[in-house]
Structure 1
Amino acid sequence: MNRNPESLSPSRLKTLITPLKCYASVRSHFSSSAKSKAINCGSKWKTRNSPGQLPIFLTIGGIQFVEWSRATRLLSAFQACEVRSKNAGLNAYKSDGLFLVICFSDKSDLEHAPDSLVLPQHECGLFGVFGHPKAAVLTYYGLFALQHRGQESAGIVTSNGPRTSFLMHKDMGLVSQVFGQEELAKLKGTRAIGHTRYSTTGTSTIKNAQPFVVDCVRGQMAIAHNGNLINADVLRDELERRGSIFQTTADSEIILHLLAQPSDNGGNILAALRRIQGAFSLIIMSEQELIAVRDPFGWRPLALGELDGAYVLASETCAFDLIHAKFIREIEPGEVLIINENGLRSERPFPEERPAFCMFEYVYFARPDSMIGGVNVGKVRIEMGRELARKFPVEADIVVPVPDSGNYAALGFAQELKIPYAHAFVRNHYIGRTFLQPSQLIRDFDVRVKLNLIKEIVAGKRVVVVDDSIVRGTTARARVVNLREAGAKEVHMRVSCPPHRFACHYGIDFPDPEKLIANQMSMEDICKYLGVDSLGYLDVEGMVRATGKPLNSFCLACFTGDYPLPFDPALDKFIMERREQRAKALADQEAQPRLFADLK
């Protein structure tokens, strides 16, 4: 077998790569134990789309690896198949200035989920319209207001009712990147559902972008989902045995297949919804109806509004404000609200459970101008800051928020202690939320470019930095370094929620306790790691007290380890991706002998 990289021409590489299942590593901590053979990629990378341009790449031990999104583009330029991650058996080929990293998976590679899989299911934004002539445009604006809930992809599906075809457009990117006048003009109809998405358990690709649409015995149906199912693998096995063919690795597609089952296999829609377990807020569109669903624990928000005689649905009320819709009420936990030409009908198909609204919505995810549970989110965050100041007072010259989600807690902290409040960090608003980025490599890049420090504000001052949370510690540590370099006399860190020590199995990005700094270090060690003079976290009682609601109203599992809904760790939210990884790896192993035969 001739595996000399220099002997492969670009045209030969193109021929060989096309059938290959490629795996490209973008991990910031590359495993040196992997058996690899690589070439120092010092020349310019060449693709048909951007000839001669240098992509962002990572140098480890003298070996350079192309960054994830650029690797995807590079491979797609050669019509290669989907890029996955892991680093077993890397080989780099070079010819005439072309560099390509190829990885063949092995059995041991499948025993652990790759870095790209140690990610959340998703935290998404939902919007729906029933009965408005400009349904697509309203949904477009609604998704704009919900952009903070997901920045990887966006989609809209519209309908004109029975006996008309659903129209859909979705793509990777922000709402403004996915939709223009031309796309919106094609989305005719008086009914619509829309979705903004952040991070999947697997790769972030168009196939997993929502809404999902199916044509079945019930007619056409579409679904948009926010949350995470804990029994997804069991349901998928059952559906596949019945003949269902899945196009994605998202648990949301499972719900759609359940809804599409004929009556003799699954009963009606309410019976199908009773099968799913976990955190879910759903907007379902059939040919006749728009259906809003919220799980019996009420983990994720969903609200109902009205505009010009039409009904609108949204994950947060800030979306209603943008389109001047009137807020009516929240969808109740365990409620299925059916909207059709006859008006509204409420059903309660689920057994009653104790409330378990995600506390992190108040702390971080929700926009401060939204109302959740009858309380303004920004006001709650200000009160969290006051609670924090009462618990951990400090003598300082200025209080500095980490924008934007730390702004309101910092304001409350400053007001309570009567310390001047100053915006010393300037945020680049063209960078997405650092916490929501799909890999640590991209997160590290965001930390550097997301915030810039106004040195003159902090030089020679005793500074209190207030942030909403510290999850991995990447961002917080970088901010402290910036403050020290700018000449801050003292740096004190205050956090407006308790330490995150436990994984979330209900759809938030706390999947691996080993990646949570508070799970791995004591408070003293965290203080040293961050490089601050003092550190204080708000406790659970103070955090909940700021909402004005009872302690048992919330899911606090990521702080306390007390999970409202039991789950089987063997059936975690990554299992479908791991199963698909195994299946594809077996197919790859069968394809490799044929590939190498061409190289002899």
Structure 2
Amino acid sequence: MFTTNPFDDDKLREECGVFGVSRTETASAIVALGLHALQHRGQEAAGITSWDGHEFHTHRAMGHVAGNFDRDEVIRALPGGSACGHVRYSTTGETSLRNVQPLYAELNSGGFAIAHNGNISNAMKLRRELIRRGSIFQSTSDTEVIIHLVATSSYRTLLDKFIDALKQIEGAYSLIVMTPEGMIACRDPLGIRPLVMGQLGDSTIFASETVAFDVVGADYVRTIDPGELVIVTNEGEIRSHRPFGETNARPCIFEHVYFSRPDSIVDGSSVYSVRKAIGAQLAIENPVEADYVIPVPDSGVPAAIGYAQESNIPFELGIIRSHYIGRTFIQPGDKVRHLGVKLKHNANRALIEGKRIVLIDDSIVRGTTSLKIVQMMREAGAAEVHMRIASPPTKHSCFYGVDTPERTKLLAHKLDIGGMQDFIHADSLAFISIDGLYKALGEAKRADIRPQYCDACFTGDYPTTLTDQDDVVVKNQLELLAERVV
């Protein structure tokens, strides 16, 4: 039986990644390279759809980009000058090939392919309404709702149909859409999910992160604004539409903490530099006497560098990570499963023994990873183990395209910091404050009204309505009331 690595089941999953290119001779090959750079955003499945001027071609597969799109015959089967792709970690819908994106449909106006990063928070309600009106769904993905809304819209042009669909959905989305007329890229009105635009010669490129531009040799042009639709026609004309008017941006703050690659630029800032600043602020707020600052690899490295520089405590690699272990491996029993932890991370005993150490990680979700890491340090002979976290306590679930556990399974929801410290068996535990996190991002503090970022996983301040979630709560309350009546 295959099961997830113990160190992978205690992280906030990275949503998805999208990449699209128009007007180039090697579109699908460029998309495959771009998806390689975005692989960290989704490891379950990948897909590419191309347009050759006459028809669409699609290849979708479970697993990583490598192995599925690094073969010449696969790329040759995806001809055309425009293509879009997607790497997936499922947040809505089961893990199966029918949910792998880009999703494709033949509409009255022609072919329609869509790649989506995010989560539609009223998809269940819309799906029920569409099914009642006769729509037949082929997947369980919330993305397919957009296709049906476009198909059933009463507006005349495809652009108006698409805008009509977007105005009916709630939640977070970055979308790349391909039609016979060209490519459309857009973000939700709050800009919760990221999307950037680049240029490669005469070709226009869209991607979830700028690192994908670096890999294919493209230049970063700008960020797609919240609520903006950018259209690239087959003739190369670029038009911008803003159907939502003025919006108050609330991009996801966790892109800076964990999701984006450190070599990306997000909202105009270097992710690596921001994470170092977070670590420095963490040291200012939560100092401790220690011999070494040690990151939990790899996500804790930039913050640990910042913490070490601010505190003047030496930075050392006290945990060595194997880069040759995938996300899954065979574990025939609990004992072997426990031993399997060290396949991915192992303590640098010669460094740690007898020393006071500060462990730096990006977050604590369930707490199981932190518990195992602290235990590993103890077994390696550490005299003291202090844990410092480069984000505030994660107390709330995300409904915007990040796969978080149910709130009741979040350690920070169940326990206060003292209780969390006891749970992971650390000598001390501390988190950066919410205002400290904003300060590291260049803000004076978190605004009380209309905060600068979506930080709902820390604060519970959700920037949109959560129709489906509210419906579930009401349903549960009605069922409980019915049981009491009986």
Percentage identity across aligned positions?
Answer: 46
Asked whether 1:530 is paired with 2:424, we answer yes
Amino acid at match of 2:43: Q
Q: How does 1:424-573 map to 2 (within 5 A)?
A: 424-431=318-325, 447-549=341-443, 551=446, 552-568=451-467, 569-571=469-471
Q: Any gaps of 5 or more consecutive residues in structure 1?
A: 1-54, 57-66, 70-118, 435-441, 576-600
Counterpart CA distance in 1 for 2:12 and 2:459 is 19
Q: Any gaps of 5 or more consecutive residues in structure 2?
A: 6-10, 329-335, 476-486
Task: Kindly indicate whether the alpha-carbon contact (under 8 Å) linking 1:120 and 1:200 is maintained by their aligned counterparts in 2.
Answer: no
1:147 to 14, 24, 39: 39
- Which deviations, in whole Å up to 9, do the C-alpha atoms of 1:351-386 show, x marking residues without a partner? 543211111110000000100111000000000000
Change in Cα spacing, 1:316 to 1:218, as seen in structure 2 (3 Å) is same
Task: Kindly indicate whether the alpha-carbon contact (under 8 Å) linking 1:120 and 1:507 is maintained by their aligned counterparts in 2.
Answer: no
Counterpart CA distance in 1 for 2:99 and 2:129 is 21
- Which deviations, in whole Å up to 9, do the C-alpha atoms of 1:513-566 show, x marking residues without a partner? 111100001111111111111111000011111111463210111111111112
Counterpart CA distance in 2 for 1:447 and 1:543 is 31
Aligned length: 455
Match of 1:210 in 2: 101
Counterpart CA distance in 2 for 1:536 and 1:167 is 51
Q: How does 1:37-436 map to 2 (within 5 A)?
A: 55=1, 123-161=15-53, 164-179=54-69, 180-261=71-152, 263=154, 268-340=161-233, 341-431=235-325
- Which deviations, in whole Å up to 9, do the C-alpha atoms of 1:502-521 show, x marking residues without a partner? 11111112241111100001
- Which deviations, in whole Å up to 9, do the C-alpha atoms of 1:115-135 show, x marking residues without a partner? xxxx99971010000001000
Match of 1:99 in 2: none
Task: Kindly indicate whether the alpha-carbon contact (under 8 Å) linking 2:172 and 2:193 is maintained by their aligned counterparts in 1.
Answer: yes
Counterpart CA distance in 2 for 1:445 and 1:570 is 42
Task: Kindly indicate whether the alpha-carbon contact (under 8 Å) linking 1:447 and 1:474 is maintained by their aligned counterparts in 2.
Answer: no
Counterpart CA distance in 2 for 1:449 and 1:570 is 42
Task: Kindly indicate whether the alpha-carbon contact (under 8 Å) linking 2:293 and 2:316 is maintained by their aligned counterparts in 1.
Answer: yes
- Which deviations, in whole Å up to 9, do the C-alpha atoms of 1:199-249 show, x marking residues without a partner? 344431111111100011010010000001111012112221222111111
More RCO (CA 8 Å, sep 6+):
2
Counterpart CA distance in 2 for 1:351 and 1:269 is 16
Amino acid at match of 2:409: K
Amino acid at match of 1:403: P
Amino acid at match of 2:167: R
Amino acid at match of 2:82: R
Moved more, 530-539 or 544-553: 544-553
- Which deviations, in whole Å up to 9, do the C-alpha atoms of 1:438-463 show, x marking residues without a partner? xxxx9989755321222111111111
The DSSP-based 3-state class of the residue aligned with 1:233 is helix
Match of 1:103 in 2: none
- Which deviations, in whole Å up to 9, do the C-alpha atoms of 1:288-308 show, x marking residues without a partner? 110001000100110000001
Moved more, 541-550 or 128-137: 541-550
Change in Cα spacing, 1:560 to 1:420, as seen in structure 2 (3 Å) is same
Change in Cα spacing, 1:514 to 1:203, as seen in structure 2 (3 Å) is same
Change in Cα spacing, 1:197 to 1:349, as seen in structure 2 (3 Å) is same
Task: Kindly indicate whether the alpha-carbon contact (under 8 Å) linking 2:15 and 2:91 is maintained by their aligned counterparts in 1.
Answer: no
The DSSP-based 3-state class of the residue aligned with 1:358 is coil
- Structure 1 or 2, whichever has the larger Rg, is 1
| TM-score normalised by the chain length of structure 2 | 0.89
Counterpart CA distance in 1 for 2:255 and 2:37 is 16
Moved more, 133-142 or 253-262: 253-262
Counterpart CA distance in 1 for 2:133 and 2:339 is 45
Change in Cα spacing, 1:505 to 1:121, as seen in structure 2 (3 Å) is farther
